[in-house]
Structures are given as structure tokens and as C-alpha cells.
Structure 1
Amino acid sequence: MALQTGLYYPYVHLRDETWAKAAALYWRHLARVVPAGFPVQDRGVVRELNQASGFIVDSDPRQVIEAVAPAFVTAVRDNAEALRARSAVQGRRFTSRWHSNPAPNWRTRNLTGLYPEEVPPALEAALEEAGLSYRDHRQRVWHHQEWVVVDPSLAWAYKCAVTQELARRTAFTPVTDQLDAYTATGDWTAEHIADTLLGRAAPSIGHETTQSRLAMMAVRCVLPADLRHVPVEKIVRLRTQYADEFVAFDTAVKAATAEVVGATQEVTDRAAFELHLQGAFDCHLAQPLESLRKAMNGLKLNTILTTLTIKPEVSVPGAGLAWLLGGTATAVGTGLAFTVLATRQATARERDTLVASSPAGYLLRVEKELKPATMLKRAGRQSHALREWASEWAVHESLSGFAVA
């Protein structure tokens, strides 16, 4: 697979283990912002993915926050009164959890926390002076935890700005499982920060996240509904086993991304942007996938047993058949078996070539590998294998009384 890295935001811990499995099928690595000393406690699936294939990469935001914080300091100091009227922390409950889409009524919204190591002293001082933050000390079972307590909308904007700057410096692609956060892109100047915090900014349509959205749309369209029950081992195998197919798929994703970004540079209407996104997805990924499915279904396995007609020849005694065909009946039967095997192998190579050359080949691999086999299908495969074995055995046993025409 191509060495490409997604940059997860706005949290440290991945919220959805099913989404993590889907992300692992496209992103070779998934970076995330982890301040120094942050107590990382990943869930089972994320831990397994990381241990098996080095999926997660932790990025220290120290240099990035030093670059982002001054614009926030300016925005807070220049708009302190308006921000205090909208996002003051006094008298509000702190939960240490926050969401990227805060409730409309700020007075009933629970406060959230930023980790102290990701808030430079100058920014924390400006926030406290404006009545927009305070320090909270909490004793957990395993450690003592401190938070810089703020309104969720401020934490959301700050996290997104840090992510955007880190993406610029690393060439990582921002990706998130929080749909509202896709709008949190753009140039985080002091003016844009103030407009965002005061509800004056028009939502970004998300040019910066086009690639990650297209990729995840494509991967998720072929995943089984019960992906959470799919073993991590299968995800890891897909990540490493089908390099050729993935390269073709990744090329198609990038072509679709370039098409959307090129066509929507001046687009400011989000609904229109979504139509462009869907159109590129259909053209570059969904339609090739459907065409590949049809091609695979139409690829027939022409073995010697289906291309040759076997019929009784009563005028030819069984004892003379070996002489007529130039060898013993057993030798002829063995030859037929080898021909069947060779034909199957040739068809398998043709099938693999077809999949590897298609931009949707990797998606078809994912679909086939992760689709759970029903009991009926498993029984069908066993029955088919038995029929084939019986058919080949019958060729050996009865060839002395038949001729091949």
C-alpha cells in the first residue's frame, strides 16, 4: 500500500471502533494529536490494529500550538466582552467530555477540558482574564488529572485549528469520524477565529477533507453491516496482502479528489459541493466497482469437463480404448485432471489480473474478504467440492467404457 497518513481529529481517542476498522482499510497510518504526558487509553480494536500493523502514530503538538495560539490570544482579547456574553464558564458544569456540535443554548451546555500541555501560558492567561476558562483538578483512580476548562465551541475551534496547522506541516490528510468537524477547516486567522466563536462564520464546505471523505465513502460502501464482529486479523491481512489493487484504488481516489477540488474552487454552497462529491464518487469508484462485479460474474470457468463432450461408444470395447487414445485409461484420466487444474489456474490468473487492473479491485477484495459466509453458502461450497471430486473420480473409473468426442 502507499505510505499515506490520515490525521485524526478532534479527539485523541478514536470514538468508534467500527470506524477505526474502516479507516485502517484505507490509511496506512493514522496520526493523532497527543500532548506530552496525555494518558492514552485506547480501546481493544485500536490497540490490536496498532500492535499488529503500527496503525496509530502519535504526534506531539508542541511546536504547532506555539504557532496557532497567538491568533487565538488576539481573537480573545479583541472580542473579550462579546465572547464572555456567549461562552463564559462561570456557574456551568464541567464533564471533561465534549462534542464537536455543541447544543444551541450555551447556558445549558456542559463545559469541557483541554489538556494543559496543549494550551500555552499566554493563551490560558487570556482565556482566564476574559472569563472563558479556569483550571480544574480531578483525582482519578489511576492518576491525578488537570484540565483547562472551556466552552465546547472554543475547544472545538482550537482543536481544529491545531489539526489544520499540523496537517500543513506534515502533509497528513485530516480525517474524522465526527461529521460536523468536517466544516472546521479553513485559514484560522484571528478574524476567522472570532467569527467562528461568535457564530458569524459561514461553514466551510471542506475542500481540505475531500480525499478522506471520498476514500471513506468508497470503503464503507463495501463493508458488511456487522463490521464490528469482523476480526482485526482480517483487516490487517487486507492492509498488507493486496498492494497492487490498493495502488489502483488510491490512484482513483486521488483522481476523483483532484476533479472535485478543481471544479469547486469557487463553490460556496455546501449542497452544491456535496453533489460534486457524489458525482466524482460515482464516476471514479462506484461505477467501476459495478462494472468489475459484472465482469467477474461473466468470467466462466471453462474446464475440460465442460468443453469436451463425453459419450458412450458401445462399438469400442473398453480394453481397446487405451490403444485408441494412445495410453491407458488411467493415464487419460490423469491428463484430464491436469487439464482441468491448468484451466482453473489460468482462469484464476485472468481473474486476478482483472481485479488488479481495476480502480475498484481493492474494494471488491474488501467486499469478498469481509463478507461473512452464510451456512447455506458454506454448505453449497462443500457440496460443490464433493461434486467436483466425484466427477473427476468418475472420469477415471468409467473411461474404459467411454470415448471422448
Structure 2
Amino acid sequence: MLQTGLYYPYVHLRDESWAKAAALYWRNLARVVPPGFPVRDRDAIKELNDAGFLRTTDPQPAAEAVAPAFVSAIRENTDALRARFAVGERRFTERWQSAPALSATARTLTGLYPEEVPDALQEALREAGLARRSARGYVGDRLVWWLAVDPAVAWAYKCAITEELARRTAFAPVTDQLNAFTATGEWSSERVADTLLDRAEPRIGREAAQSRLALMAVQCVLPADLRNVPTEKILRLRTQYADEFTAFAAAIEAAAADIANATREVTDRAAFELHLQGAFERSIAQPLASLRKAMNGLKLNTIVTALTIKPEVTVSGTGLAWLAGGPATAVSTGIAFAALATRQAVARERDALVTSSPAGYLLKVERDVKPATLLRRAGRSIARTTGVGI
């Protein structure tokens, strides 16, 4: 069943190409926006937001739920956490960094918006020397205040909020940061401490397999310059191929379920990634290659049939000869009618192939999203009309 994705750990989508690819799979993409947060989206993201693809989720209830685990972890491991993540006089920027290496000690601080951090947790962080209140940047004439913390602390907290929101909303956590902490599983005080102090094996995150597979599949047919593909074209494709998408979504869901079952005992991340790649090949890449081959075969058969059909076997051609003025016209008319009927039959077979195949949606996205010259567009229109194109 198609779900709403829950984007984390940022508010702003960092990669326009990733956002467009996500829009070709998720019905909606929810993002966590604290009240009053200064949202400043790029133009392409604004278009997706204006079209209703992006939805806003308030993190405050989830933050209240997970904050006690962080408070407990801080109070029980103050010295160890301070040794790693003390803010001191470290420089602060509100621009988030990529996933941090937990062993680093000289990273620039990043910012949590105060409205998403309950007062008790803010107090615990400041008392332990793990946070300080900092002002940086204006929105209009308003100075924006942040809770400056080490990026590792911010990432763990954001992922914990995401997990709680996912539980409350049944949205599926999805991220464009492959090395982020998994946002699934219970974030107890023990897990908070073990994660920050690097005392536990990283979780594999099987629950994200569906979103990973879906985006791998969509991205495999998209042009490298997806950033330059108009957002309005992406939005049009979302609704244009509903039947094809249904088959595609079902295949992704089934493949993700198979991965979850097959890797239930797997604890090695590299091995899990191999399983994920294998599922992609079996459920997406191979069916797509087979569908392309089948479509090419249909085109060839149509042309051969049209050229080799025998005019004397066409009843319609003989009957029309007397009305049209003679045997020559009867022959040409017979070929035309027979060829048209064959092409229409092939068109029906083509449509059935594309609609039923899990890769049919991808084939149509691939065709429509890539730039085409005027001549190619005209040729494609003619091919579609005569039954030899998709």
C-alpha cells in the first residue's frame, strides 16, 4: 500500500533531484517543522509544496515523548558525553552538516530549533555542557535563536523524534542521508547513550527497505540532469499513470517484504546492502529489461506484418474495390485496413504489457521525463497513433 513518507532529519530538502524522484513514488512527503521555524525552500521545493506533495508535521508531541529518555541518558552518562560533545567555545552555524563521525571532537556546532526541544531537555543539555543558546541569522527583522549542540547529538535526537512520529502517524521514515542513524526502533535511554557513545552495533534499518528500493527504481530511469526537469512535469506524471503505478508499488512492497524475511537474522550492514541490491535486480532491473525487449519485439512484429500481409485475403478490400474505382484501389485499401487492425491489436497488447508489468510505470516515466526534440516528439505521437510506441 502506498504510504506517506516522513522525511528526516532535516526540515529543508537538500537535494532537488532527490525530491523530484521522491515525488514519483510517495503520495505525500511529510516533514517535521516546529512552530515558527523559518522555512526557506528553493523554488523547485516550493512548487512541490504548493502542489500539496509536501506536508507539515508538528514535532512537539513526539518531542515531549522522547525527551525523558535523553534526559536520563545525559544524567547517567554526563562525564562521558561531555568528554565527547561539550560545546565549549566551538563555532556555531545553523547550517546542518552531513552525518558526523562520532569520534570527532572539533566539529562545528549545529542548531536545534528551541520549539522542538522541551524545557527539561534543554536544561539537562545546558547543565551538562552539551548545549548553549545562540542567536544566528535573521528572518525579516526577527533574530532567530537556536540551541547549539554537537551534530551527533542533534542527529540522534532528530531520529528519535522521527521514530516517535512514525509510530503516531504510520508514515514511513525516508531520508536522503544513507549514513543517518536508523529512525526505527525504540529510543530508550540505553539506546541514546549507546548510540552517542558508540557502544552498540549500528542498526540495519530493514524497515526502510521499501523506500530505498522505490527510490533506487525511480532513479534508475531518470536522467542525470533531473534538476533541470521542470517540476510541473514531475507533478503531471504523478497522476497520469495510475494503473501502471499500482503494479509498480505492489512489486516494491512485495520485494521489501521478501528482504525483511530473508534478512531477519542478518546483522552485517554490508551483507544487507547486497541483499537489497539483489532484490532491486530481481524485482526492478530485470523486469524493466524484459519489458523493453518485449516492447521492441512488438514494434518489429507490427512492421513485418504490415509489409507481408496478403491483400487477396481481405474481404473488405474486395468489397470496396467497386466503390473506389477498381482492383488497384482494392489492393491498397485491403492492406491499409489489415495493417490498421494489426496495429490496433498490437497497441492493445502493448498497453496490457505495460500496465501489468511492475516496470511499466518506470518505462513510461523514463520516456516522458527525458528531454525530446520536436522531431522525436512528432515521431513518438505518430508511433503511438499507429500502435508501435508507448
- Take 2:61 and 2:351, find their aligned partners in 1: how far apart are those partners? 47
- Take 2:336 and 2:172, find their aligned partners in 1: how far apart are those partners? 52
- Take 2:156 and 2:102, find their aligned partners in 1: how far apart are those partners? 16
Rate the CA distance shift 1:381–1:182 in 2: closer, same or farther, 3 A: farther
Q: How does 1:312-351 map to 2 (within 5 A)?
A: 325-329=321-325, 332=330, 337-351=336-350
Rate the CA distance shift 1:188–1:104 in 2: closer, same or farther, 3 A: closer
Partner of 2:25: 26
Please state whether the residue corresponding to 1:32 is helix, strand or coil.
strand
Question: Percent identity between the aligned chains?
Answer: 65
Rate the CA distance shift 1:163–1:349 in 2: closer, same or farther, 3 A: same
Partner of 1:128: 126
Please state whether the residue corresponding to 1:57 is helix, strand or coil.
strand
Please state whether the residue corresponding to 2:105 is helix, strand or coil.
helix
Contact 2:23 2:234 survives alignment (8 Å): yes
Question: Structure 2 counterpart of 1:326, which letter?
Answer: W
Q: 2:85 aligns with which of 84, 87, 91?
A: 87
Please state whether the residue corresponding to 1:148 is helix, strand or coil.
strand
Cα displacement (A) at 1:307:
3.6
- Take 1:183 and 1:189, find their aligned partners in 2: how far apart are those partners? 14
Q: 2:113 aligns with which of 105, 112, 115?
A: 115
Cα displacement (A) at 1:139:
4.5
Further displaced range: 272-281 or 302-311: 302-311
Partner of 2:296: 297
Q: Does 1:13 align with 2:18?
A: no
Partner of 2:362: 363
Please state whether the residue corresponding to 1:107 is helix, strand or coil.
coil
Contact 1:134 1:148 survives alignment (8 Å): yes
1:5-25, Cα deviation, whole Å (9 max, x unpaired): 011000001000000010000
Cα RMSD for the two superposed structures: 2.6
Contact 2:102 2:152 survives alignment (8 Å): no
Contact 2:251 2:358 survives alignment (8 Å): yes
Please state whether the residue corresponding to 2:213 is helix, strand or coil.
helix
Q: How does 1:378-389 map to 2 (within 5 A)?
A: 378=376, 381=379
- Take 1:10 and 1:379, find their aligned partners in 2: how far apart are those partners? 41
Contact 1:167 1:174 survives alignment (8 Å): yes
Contact 1:84 1:131 survives alignment (8 Å): yes
Question: Structure 2 counterpart of 1:301, which letter?
Answer: T
Contact 2:21 2:219 survives alignment (8 Å): yes
Partner of 2:76: 78
Rate the CA distance shift 1:233–1:341 in 2: closer, same or farther, 3 A: farther
TM-score normalised by length of structure 2: 0.89
Partner of 2:232: 233
- Take 2:265 and 2:84, find their aligned partners in 1: how far apart are those partners? 32
Contact 1:71 1:190 survives alignment (8 Å): yes
- Take 2:20 and 2:377, find their aligned partners in 1: how far apart are those partners? 29
Please state whether the residue corresponding to 1:349 is helix, strand or coil.
helix
TM-score normalised by length of structure 1: 0.85
**Number of residue-to-residue matches in the alignment:** 374
Please state whether the residue corresponding to 2:204 is helix, strand or coil.
coil
Partner of 1:173: 172
1:289-339, Cα deviation, whole Å (9 max, x unpaired): 11111111111325874243579xxxxxxxxx9999332149745665455
- Structure 2 residue runs of 5 or longer lacking an equivalent are none
- Take 1:228 and 1:338, find their aligned partners in 2: how far apart are those partners? 45
Partner of 1:270: 269
- Take 1:232 and 1:226, find their aligned partners in 2: how far apart are those partners? 13
- Take 1:14 and 1:222, find their aligned partners in 2: how far apart are those partners? 21
- Take 1:115 and 1:158, find their aligned partners in 2: how far apart are those partners? 12
Partner of 1:306: 307
- Take 1:160 and 1:379, find their aligned partners in 2: how far apart are those partners? 46
Cα displacement (A) at 1:231:
1.3
- Take 2:305 and 2:277, find their aligned partners in 1: how far apart are those partners? 46
Question: Structure 2 counterpart of 1:30, which letter?
Answer: L
Q: Does 1:204 align with 2:203?
A: yes
Please state whether the residue corresponding to 1:4 is helix, strand or coil.
coil
Question: Structure 1 counterpart of 2:58, which letter?
Answer: D
Partner of 1:219: 218
Partner of 1:67: 65
Partner of 2:190: 191
Cα displacement (A) at 1:346:
2.8
Cα displacement (A) at 1:369:
1.2
1:80-130, Cα deviation, whole Å (9 max, x unpaired): 111111100011000112224225663320001100100000000100110
Q: How does 1:236-275 map to 2 (within 5 A)?
A: 236-275=235-274
Rate the CA distance shift 1:329–1:222 in 2: closer, same or farther, 3 A: farther
Further displaced range: 139-148 or 29-38: 139-148
Please state whether the residue corresponding to 1:82 is helix, strand or coil.
helix
Question: Structure 1 counterpart of 2:24, which letter?
Answer: L
Contact 2:163 2:173 survives alignment (8 Å): yes
